[in-house]
Amino acid sequence: MDTVSSESTEIRPFRIDIPQADLDDLADRLARTRWTDELPGVGWTYGAPTSYLRGLAEYWRTSYDWRAHEAALNAFPQFTTTIDGQDVHFLHVRSPEPDALPLILTHGWPGSFVEMQKIVGPLTDPRAHGGDPADAFHVVVPSIPGFGFSGPTQETGWDMARVARAWAVLMDRLGYDRYGAQGTDSGAVISPLLGGLAPEHVVGVHVNGALGFPSGDPAELEGLTEAELARLAGMHHQLEEGAGYAILQSTRPQTVGVGLSDSPAGQLAWIVEKFQEWTDPAAALPEDAVDLDQLLTNVSVYWFTGTATSSARLYREGRASWGQQAPRSEVPSGVAVFPGDPGVRRIAERDHHVVHWSEFDQGGHFPAMEVPDLLVGDVRRFFRALR
């Protein structure tokens, strides 16, 4: 399957080592932030409030310890390899259990491989985390081209279908002939594409959030439950009130990227606003839903790798396929729906062979960070019948 014969198939060990000068530059830029004004009483309805961001940026500058979190990330075996002309960074953590099933986990925007940090251990070594060793996985967590240490991209064309093709090459290169795929956000699109591309290798696809989008046919909405209609109403509200970031990133990523690449406070605001909006609706602030240091590690990866622009380009590259119906996939599929997610089973079943459906009353769009135990449990249950 490794069709790129003109490039090296070498897998190179990788270690994160951000120069101290970059840490000093970040602290200096945060100290010199020219903060914008804000209106009284509007909360988050106009975007990330300056009064909140000031405190968060000061914590990032004076209390957050990048070196400690860099060391924690470096505790995972990391590698890079070149696929389709692009360097791809990935974690590859093999289970101590010999019969473990390989599993590729795909993040989205504004996440990164950091998002999966809490679930790698339980997935690879359930015996050490109170689980059944029969549920073990060999875990691969790549950074999408353009994101983090897989960035920036060097050419146009890196849409989600191309990422899925790269993942098929990566898993083949690692020697995995039979494996599962799990995805969140953009990963919930890439993982099903991978299943459709390599159904002879992908035993199952699990996503959190939703699998597919409404077609616009009114008949598709007939007979939906009150909860399902509420989820779709929430999705429409998001498109009306919260899709500005996607419109900018899908039309003018270079322009918006200038500010994000020059101002760490700008990069912080751009990402933190989505964590406030997309995490568990019961959480008032991002740090009420996710570990604050893990969130800042995620933001720091965007900042230190200078990938605000190239990650945004994923939206520009994929815009042409928005709304297009994918060919039906018969790969067994599972969905975990968390609060705020738009998942509707009937819509998912239109284009996918859905064999597993779970709904939760805790968590949100970033369950690997918010409710890792719930996500791990659901992934284990889904793949039990597919091993």
Residue carrying the six token digits 């940026």: 57
Helix, strand, coil shares of the chain, percent, nearest 5, are 50, 15, 35
SS3 139: strand
Q: Which are the contacts of 223, defined by CB distance < 8 A and separation ≥ 6?
A: none
Active site residue 315: yes
CA dist 92 → 13, 43, 110, 143, 313 (Å): 10, 41, 22, 12, 26
Please tell me which residue in 315, 341, 356, 378 is annotated as part of the active site: 315
The closest of 178, 185, 235, 232 to 207, measured between CA atoms, is 185
The H or E element containing residue 274 is helix 264-278
Compute the radius of gyration of the chain from its Cα atoms: 20
| 214: phi then psi, degrees, rounded to nearest 5 | -55, 140
Query: Residue 10 gets which letter from DSSP?
Result: -
- Count of CA atoms in the C-beta half-sphere (13 A) of 17: 3
Alpha-carbon gap, residue 368 to 373, rounded angstroms: 8
| 224: phi then psi, degrees, rounded to nearest 5 | -70, 150
- The two tokens of residue 319 are 């815009």
Active site residue 22: no
Please tell me which residue in 125, 135, 159, 185 is annotated as part of the active site: 185
Tally: H helices and E strands in the chain: 16, 9
Active site residue 365: yes
Query: Burial of 344 by CB count in 10 Å (0-12 exposed, 13-18 middle, 19+ buried)?
Result: buried
Neighbours of 289 (CB within 10 A): 24
List residues with catalytic annotation.
185, 315, 365
